[in-house]
A and B are shown apart, each in its own frame.
Chain A
Amino acid sequence: MKTIGIDAGSLNIKVVVLDDNKITGYSIVPAGDDGTASAKQALENALVLQGDACKTVATGIGVKLLTFVPQQKSITTCLARGVRFLFPSVKLSIDMGAESTTVIKLNDKGRLADWANHDKCASGTGLFLQQMAKLMAMPIAEMSHLSLKAQSRPEITSTCAVFAESEVISYVHRMPPTPMPDIAAGIYYSVVSRVMSLCKRVGIEKDIAVTGGVALNTGLVTILEKEIGTKVMVPEVPQIVAALGAAIIAGENAQKGITQ
């Protein structure tokens, strides 16, 4: 039985097609201005790969726009299902998307037990890293392996992303100016310590997974592993975990005969 999950993120729309618990196709399309059109586009890409499909569940920040998908679920529930499907032993999963970071805790049955996302001052998100890379005039990938070469690292403490940026600027404009690798490490540590604070809120428990687009950033994941004290599992395509979860829920709903 074929089911589909759509995750309407703020920057990308992700679609996963599941056929009897096997991922048979997925696609990632930039959201652009008109979310609905891109969602339909992403749907066609995925569907074209293997004929028609009936059961679909949507999630993500832009979910309200996908009026053409009746069944909608919250991002945390979908993430829980997706992570459980990929790594059954995981208890704690960190989703670092473009817009926000969400940490979810699973209970023994693999269901969502608790979650935490950012307190009032939001920083430490994918967009924050993008802005920092732009400020340092280098691509994110280069910044991440540059950070591994740092001797010491300046403390970037302001919680607000905009002020964290002015702190970075003040490190650049300092006499003597702070070396670039140290600043890159400082940026990464400020992102990681925000994530650690969230993990400590829900309680750190082995095994740990990292999902979302930022999980592809090896420099960040290495620093996170050092801070959290254990290896973390990163799925092959970390961006589609929520969409995968939505597809799984679509299958469950079909069995339970739920359509609304």
Chain B
Amino acid sequence: MIFAGIDIGSRGTKTVIMKDHEIIASTILDTGPESVKTAYGAMYATLQGTGLQLENVNYTVATGYGRVLVPFANENISEISCHARGINYYYPAVRTILDMGGQDCKAIRCDAEGHVTNFVMNDKCAGGTGRFLEMIADVLGLPLMEIGETALQSQNIIPFNTVCAVFAKSEAIAYLRQGVSRSDIMAGLNEAIAVRCLNLLKKVSIEKEFSITGGIAKNKGMVAKIKEKVGLEPLLAKDPQLIGAIGAALFACENFEGKESEDNGKVQYGYIDGSGEYFITIDLAKCDGCGQCIPVCPYTVFEVTREDGRKPKARVTESTRKRLSYICPGHAVCLKARRSNCRSVCTKDAINLSW
């Protein structure tokens, strides 16, 4: 079974392909302005080299900022649940997660199976997000990857008392103009951000084991500072940016198993009353949700709906289910009177009436 998890973040798009719980391919690309194109592009890039096509993927879960717009996803799940599930794949002992994404910073608590038990996101202020660090790296003229190491070489940390990203930027510029070294400025900012993260974590109360996920987990200076503040050794994944996509792929696997068994069963709608048995049976395996049965029935008995994650299927509407015998004269009488009915028009022969 092939499952895919795609995490469209505000900055980067992360995709993971799994074969029965085994990661066989993963990519990290930039999120472009057109999210639909980005999703397809990321998927094809990841599938390259695996010899698989998009059709071979049994189930796809999308997460992240642009999750609603992934056309080929069966389901979308919030990045908070995906990060908890994803880190559980590598470290089942983790109970507290700090996810420092591009746009926001999240503190998550989870249980042994990686299910979220409590979470909090940073309030209105953007201090302490990936975007904040990017702005500062811009000002200091440093590539984003290097700001971690630069901070570690700092001798004396200068205080950044304001947490507002925009004011911190102007303070950084002022320090730069006064000749303060880049490493001291960076260290000062990491300190301010680490304090904010600690306060966020305390809101969900910190419990061992602890992990940091998201792009900033690769920033050594930041991780060292958070470790010092929190007082716990963070268990870091090999690639912390992929945790969201891995979690999504794992959900794809779990949710697919749950859905697969129901899909090829037959579903009966109707009842038995004094005057006889009135059941309409729809064979879900055969039905492809073409919707031909809807217009042909004068009493709007049918509708096509798409349950979360499953392919679209026909079903009897709620409002008619309990009154079928009063509405529908039975398939034979209807066929004679109107020369076509739901059964005759259904090319897949998925509909059956008991009267």
A6 to chain B, nearest CB (A): 14
Say yes or no: A160-B124 contact (C-beta < 8 A), given A65-B178, A122-B166, A172-B35. yes
A176 to chain B, nearest CB (A): 10
Bound Cα distance A61, B69 (Å): 44
Give chain A residues whose Cβ lies under 8 Å from the Cβ of B8. 173
Give chain A residues whose Cβ lies under 8 Å from the Cβ of B131. 162, 165-166
The answer to whether B177 touches A161, judged by C-beta atoms less than 8 angstroms apart, is no
Which listed residue, B66, B68, B124, B179, touches A163 by the CB 8 Å rule?
Answer: B124
| Size range of the chain A interface in the assembly | 20 to 34
Which listed residue, A62, A121, A137, A170, touches B164 by the CB 8 Å rule?
Answer: A121
A10 at the interface (CB under 8 A from B): yes
Bound Cα distance A122, B162 (Å): 13
B355 at the interface (CB under 8 A from A): no
A136 at the interface (CB under 8 A from B): yes
The answer to whether A10 touches B173, judged by C-beta atoms less than 8 angstroms apart, is yes
Say yes or no: A177-B166 contact (C-beta < 8 A), given A35-B177, A162-B131. no
The answer to whether B176 touches A162, judged by C-beta atoms less than 8 angstroms apart, is no
A175 at the interface (CB under 8 A from B): yes
Which listed residue, B65, B124, B135, touches A170 by the CB 8 Å rule?
Answer: B65
Say yes or no: A163-B178 contact (C-beta < 8 A), given A10-B173, A120-B164, A169-B65. no
Bound Cα distance A31, B66 (Å): 38
The answer to whether A99 touches B124, judged by C-beta atoms less than 8 angstroms apart, is no
Closest to A125 in B: B166
Say yes or no: A62-B125 contact (C-beta < 8 A), given A99-B170, A166-B103, A173-B35. no
The answer to whether A166 touches B10, judged by C-beta atoms less than 8 angstroms apart, is yes
Binding site for A on B (CB under 8 A): 8, 10, 33-35, 65-66, 68-69, 103, 124-126, 129, 131-132, 135, 141, 164-167, 170, 173-174, 176-179
The answer to whether A33 touches B176, judged by C-beta atoms less than 8 angstroms apart, is yes
Give chain A residues whose Cβ lies under 8 Å from the Cβ of B129. 162
Give chain A residues whose Cβ lies under 8 Å from the Cβ of B69. 173-175
Give chain B residues whose Cβ lies under 8 Å from the Cβ of A137. 33
The answer to whether A160 touches B166, judged by C-beta atoms less than 8 angstroms apart, is yes
The answer to whether A172 touches B33, judged by C-beta atoms less than 8 angstroms apart, is yes
Bound Cα distance A120, B165 (Å): 11
Give chain A residues whose Cβ lies under 8 Å from the Cβ of B68. 175
The answer to whether B66 touches A123, judged by C-beta atoms less than 8 angstroms apart, is no
Bound Cα distance A10, B175 (Å): 12
The answer to whether A162 touches B165, judged by C-beta atoms less than 8 angstroms apart, is yes
Bound Cα distance A204, B124 (Å): 31
B142 to chain A, nearest CB (A): 12
The answer to whether A169 touches B10, judged by C-beta atoms less than 8 angstroms apart, is yes
Q: A33-B141, A120-B164 are in contact. List 4 more A-B contacts (CB 8 A).
A: A121-B166, A158-B124, A160-B125, A174-B69
Residue among A61, A173, A175 with the most chain B CB within 10 A? A173
A-B contact pairs, 8 of them (CB 8 A): A34-B179, A65-B178, A99-B170, A162-B165, A166-B131, A170-B65, A175-B69, A177-B35
Bound Cα distance A173, B32 (Å): 10
Bound Cα distance A64, B175 (Å): 11
The answer to whether A177 touches B34, judged by C-beta atoms less than 8 angstroms apart, is yes
Give chain A residues whose Cβ lies under 8 Å from the Cβ of B176. 33
Which listed residue, B10, B33, B65, B126, touches A160 by the CB 8 Å rule?
Answer: B126
The answer to whether B177 touches A62, judged by C-beta atoms less than 8 angstroms apart, is yes
Residue among B8, B132, B135 with the most chain A CB within 10 A? B135
Closest to A137 in B: B33
The answer to whether A65 touches B177, judged by C-beta atoms less than 8 angstroms apart, is yes
Bound Cα distance A35, B177 (Å): 6
